[in-house]
Amino acid sequence: MTKYREIHAPLRTIMTPGPVEVDPRVLRAMATPILGQFDPAFTQMMNETMDMLRQTFQTKNQWAFPVDGTSRSGLEAVLCSLIEPGDKVLVPIFGRFGHLLTEIAERHGAELHLMECPWGEVFDQQAVIDEVKRVQPKIVAIVHGETSTGCMQPLDLIGPACRELGVLTVVDAVASIGGAPVKVDEWQLDAVIGGTQKCISVPSGMAPVTYNERVEQILASRKKVERGVALDSDRRDVAHPIRSNYFDLSQLQDYWGPRRLNHHTEATSMLYALREGLRILLDEGLEERFERHKLHEKALMAGIRGMGLELFNDVAWKLPVVTCVKIPQGVDGESVRNMLLHQFGIEIASSFGPLHGQIWRIGTMGYSCRKENVLFVLSALEAVLIRHTAPIVIGRGVQEALNVYE
Ligand SMILES: *Cc1c(COP(=O)(O)O)cnc(C)c1O
C-alpha cells in the first residue's frame, strides 16, 4: 500500500493573473479553529466581512457577501437569480470572460444579444449605450477588468445610462476589485461580482458579490424557500422560481441576513481567510493599494520596454494589474514559461483564444505585487530569453525598473 508523505509544496513566485501569493497573515487566519456557522462568534465575523466588503466595493448596498465557490460561482449566482427564460441580456464581449458571461446567461435561458470587439480593445461607452437603447434588454452583463487581454472597460457612463433606461447592469469585477477602483455606487452598477484569488490575495474558493434594491426586488418576486426549512409564511406560488438551489441569492440573502435561515454550511476557513484579506486591504487603504498596484505596473512596464520587448496592452485602457508582453518572433513562449518555472520558481501566464501563443501575461496583483517580485521576474525573464537567443537588450530591464523605484 502506498504511504503518502505530508504535503511539501515548492515555494513559488506567482506572477500570473491569479491565483496569486497569499499574505502569511491570511494563511495563519486559515489555521484558526473551526466554529459552528451559527455560533455568535462566527456570525459576528460574517457581519464584519459584509461590512468590509461594502467598503471594498465602495457601496452603501445592504447586500455584500461571498458566494461559496470560485469567482464564476458569483457570476452564476447573480445571473441565474436574475434571468428568467426569454429575458433579453446584452453582453459586450472584449475577451474570454465576456464569453463566460454569455455562456452562463445562455444556460439560464436568456435571449442573448452580443457585441464584440477585437481582443485588446474595449468598447466606446456610447456605442454600448446606443445598443442598449436599440435592444432594450433586461440586463447588460459586462466585464470590468478582462484578464485575458489586460484591458479595462470604463463603466462610468454605461452605468448611469442603463439606470436611466431601467436596464440592470451586472459587472464582472473579479480581476479588478482590490487592485483598481470599482465604484459600485458612483458608477450606478446594480450587481457586481468580485474575486478572492486575484487582487484581494486570498485563496480561490469564494466570490464576493454586492447588489442593490433593484436586484433585490427581482429576487423577492422569484423567492422560493427550501421545503425543509420553510415556514407557512414562506409558502407561496412563484411563476419563475430561481432555478438553482445553491446559487439562489434570495436564500443566500436570508442566510447572511438577520433571519440566518439555514442554507449551505459556510466555508469556515475560507471566511476567516476572506475576513483577514479584507482587513489587510482596508488597513492598507483603498487608494494606497491602487497606487501601489500602479507603481509596480509602471516599474514592470519600464523593465519590459527596457529589454526591448513589446507590450500588447500599451493602451489608455490598460488593466493596471495585468501586463501583456508580445512573445518575440521565433521564441517558443511555453518553453520560456517552463524555464522560468523550473529554474527560477516563477510562474507567469499564457493566454487564450486568439491570443494563445502570442503573449505572456504577467500579473501584479495583491500580495504578489511587490518590488522584489517585479525585479525578480525581470531578471529571470532576461536570463531565460538570453538562453532562448531572443533578440533583447541585455542589462536594461532591471535597471529601468530600478529607475522607477528610485
Ligand atoms: C479569474 C476570472 C474569472 C473566473 O474566476 P474563477 O475563480 O476561476 O471562477 C472570471 N472573470 C474574470 C475577469 C477573471 O479574471
pLDDT of residue 235: 84
Testing ligand 1's pocket by substitution, the residue of 147, 148, 152, 174 carrying the most ligand atoms inside 8 A of its CB is: 174
What's the whole-number average pLDDT of the chain?
Answer: 97
pLDDT of residue 183: 98
pLDDT of residue 233: 85
- pLDDT tier at 234 (50, 70, 90 boundaries)? confident
Does the pLDDT of residue 307 top 90, yes or no? yes
pLDDT of residue 154: 98
pLDDT mean over 38-63: 98
pLDDT of residue 222: 93
pLDDT digits (tens, 9 = 90+) for 112-167: 999 999 999 999 999 999 999 999 999 999 999 999 999 999 999 999 999 999 99
Q: Which helix (H) or strand (E) holds 65?
A: strand 63-68
70 Cβ closer than 6 Å to some ligand 1 atom: yes
Buried b (16+ CB within 10 A) or exposed e, 231-260: eeeeeeeeeebbbeeebbbbbbbbbbeeee
Ligand 1 mean position to 276 CA, how many Å?
Answer: 21
Does the pLDDT of residue 328 top 90, yes or no? yes
Ligand 1 mean position to 66 CA, how many Å?
Answer: 14
Ligand 1 mean position to 310 CA, how many Å?
Answer: 26
172 Cβ closer than 6 Å to some ligand 1 atom: yes
18 Cβ closer than 6 Å to some ligand 1 atom: yes
pLDDT of residue 191: 98
> What percentage of the chain reaches a pLDDT higher than 70?
100
**Nearest residue CA, atom 6 of ligand 1?**
71
pLDDT of residue 230: 87
pLDDT of residue 321: 98
For residue 327, the 8-state DSSP code is: P
Atom number in ligand 1 closest to CA 207:
7
CA geometry: angle 361, 362, 363, nearest 5 deg: 115
pLDDT mean over 375-400: 98
Does the pLDDT of residue 265 top 90, yes or no? yes
Q: Which has the higher per-residue pLDDT, 262 or 269?
A: 269
103 Cβ closer than 6 Å to some ligand 1 atom: no
User: Which residues are documented as binding site?
Assistant: 361
pLDDT of residue 92: 98
Atom number in ligand 1 closest to CA 146:
13
Residue 83 · residue 110 · CB < 8 Å: yes
If one counts every other C-beta atom within 10 angstroms of the C-beta of residue 181, the result is 17
97 Cβ closer than 6 Å to some ligand 1 atom: yes
pLDDT mean over 206-225: 96
C-alpha grid cell, residue 342: 523550473
pLDDT mean over 201-210: 98
User: Which residues are documented as binding site for substrate?
Assistant: 361
If one counts every other C-beta atom within 10 angstroms of the C-beta of residue 344, the result is 17
Question: Cα–Cα distance between 361 and 262 in angstroms, integer?
Answer: 42
Sort residue 224 into left (φ over 0), alpha (ψ -120 to 50) or beta: beta
Domains of the chain: 22-281 (3.40.640.10), 286-405 (3.90.1150.10)
Report the range of poorest mean pLDDT among 41-55, 157-171, 235-249: 235-249
pLDDT of residue 57: 98
Does the pLDDT of residue 228 top 90, yes or no? no
